[in-house]
């Protein structure tokens, strides 16, 4: 699904092209693309009713959960500038960094919310609220750098940039609508977001495995993105999951 061929948000395109294909698995939950679209639409409408709109800066502070994935897509659909935030970042760093990024709202799904000086969003479903028009060149996400040389900086990406990155990886690794990719890296890192955009590009299945050991989580997956430590732990197991076909390795010197 090349960028120039997409006329609507990718999850809506998928719901139109393959409404009953499996889009997402999370524990006992299995949703088709039509199910996913409905949930994203109603959640996006809820955010719009709370004041989020095109160009609004929004922090999403969460681990990889089903609500986080839905919120990631729904906030993009409002046209917001989305900053996924590591829940482990200390409050002092957040207070120093976020005012520079013109952030208006925070959606805090972490177990221990931070009292940040911005309006708090909640997960609300609504049935009216005009989604932003699909514009792949609009700024979509801000992703913090490691900050190894000082205060972290925010790398800005458009949806077009995310799709181009996904297309580049998928030109090297076969990944089709019949496959499944484990969301094994955090959404606050560009590698975690890369999984999301490859899933959307291929129309495959995204697998979430909250709290499961890696080897158990991979039992459902044909593809995974791992860092070397994760691969080392996997290779120490008596056997590799039979369904696993491809591993994208990165995140450190290999």
What is the pLDDT confidence band of residue 251, given thresholds at 50, 70 and 90? low
pLDDT at position 147 over 90: no
User: Which pLDDT score is estimated for 201?
Assistant: 97
Rounded to 5°, the CA angle 133-108-195 comes to 60
Q: How far is CA 225 from the centre of its chain?
A: 14
User: Which pLDDT score is estimated for 253?
Assistant: 54
Q: How far is CA 196 from the centre of its chain?
A: 5
Q: Is residue 132 part of a domain?
A: yes
Domain hosting 145: range is 3-209
**Total of domains in the chain:** 1
CA Rg value for the chain: 18
Output the pTM of the full model.
0.94
Q: Residues near 13 by Cβ (< 8 Å), separated by ≥ 6?
A: 1, 6, 7
Of residues 25 and 145, more confidence is placed in 25
Q: Is residue 233 part of a domain?
A: no
Q: Is residue 248 part of a domain?
A: no
Q: Is residue 39 part of a domain?
A: yes
How are strands ordered across the β-sheet holding 119-120? Answer: 119-120, 105-108, 57-61, 81-85, 139-144, 154-158
Three-state secondary-structure class, residue 131: coil
Q: Is residue 177 part of a domain?
A: yes
Of residues 107 and 127, more confidence is placed in 107
The tokens describing 43, both together, are 């959640």
Q: Is residue 82 part of a domain?
A: yes
Q: Is residue 63 part of a domain?
A: yes
The tokens describing 17, both together, are 């092209």
pLDDT mean over 88-103: 92
Q: How far apart are the C-alpha atoms of 125 and 49, rounded to whole Å?
A: 10
Read out DSSP for 20-31? TSEEEEETTEEE
* Cβ(197)–Cβ(73) below 8 Å: no
Average pLDDT in the chain: 93
Q: Is residue 222 part of a domain?
A: no
The predicted-structure confidence for 148-178, as pLDDT tens digits, reads as follows 667 889 999 999 999 999 999 999 999 999 9
User: Which pLDDT score is estimated for 148?
Assistant: 63
Measured distance between the N- and C-terminal CA atoms of the chain, rounded to whole angstroms: 31
pLDDT at position 1 over 70: no
Q: pLDDT over 70 for what percent of the chain?
A: 96
The predicted-structure confidence for 175-218, as pLDDT tens digits, reads as follows 999 999 999 999 999 999 999 999 999 999 999 998 888 888 99
The predicted-structure confidence for 24-50, as pLDDT tens digits, reads as follows 999 999 999 999 999 999 999 999 999
Of residues 6 and 147, more confidence is placed in 6
Of residues 48 and 6, more confidence is placed in 48
CATH number of the domain where residue 63 is located: 3.40.50.12780
């Amino acid at each position: 699904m090349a960028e120039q061929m997409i006329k609507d948000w990718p999850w809506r395109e998928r719901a139109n092209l393959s409404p009953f294909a499996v889009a997402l698995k999370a524990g006992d939950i299995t949703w088709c693309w039509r199910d996913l679209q409905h949930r994203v639409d109603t959640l996006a409408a809820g955010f719009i009713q709370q004041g989020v709109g095109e160009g609004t800066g929004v922090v999403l502070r969460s681990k990889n959960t089903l609500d986080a994935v839905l919120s990631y897509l729904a906030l993009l659909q409002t046209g917001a500038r989305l900053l996924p935030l590591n829940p482990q970042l200390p409050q002092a760093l957040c207070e120093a960094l976020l005012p520079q990024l013109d952030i208006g709202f925070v959606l805090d799904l972490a177990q221990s919310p931070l009292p940040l000086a911005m309006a708090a969003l909640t997960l609300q479903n609504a049935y009216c609220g005009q989604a932003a028009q699909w514009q792949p060149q609009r700024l979509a996400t801000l992703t913090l750098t490691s900050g190894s040389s000082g205060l972290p900086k925010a790398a800005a990406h458009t949806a077009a940039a995310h799709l181009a990155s996904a297309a580049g990886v998928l030109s090297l690794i076969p990944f089709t609508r019949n496959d499944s990719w484990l969301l094994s890296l955090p959404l606050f890192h560009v590698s975690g977001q890369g999984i999301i955009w490859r899933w959307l590009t291929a129309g495959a299945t995204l697998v979430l495995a909250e709290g499961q050991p890696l080897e158990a989580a991979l039992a459902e997956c044909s593809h995974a993105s791992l860092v070397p430590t994760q691969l080392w732990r996997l290779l120490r197991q008596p056997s590799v999951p039979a369904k696993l076909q491809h591993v994208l390795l990165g995140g450190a010197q290999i």
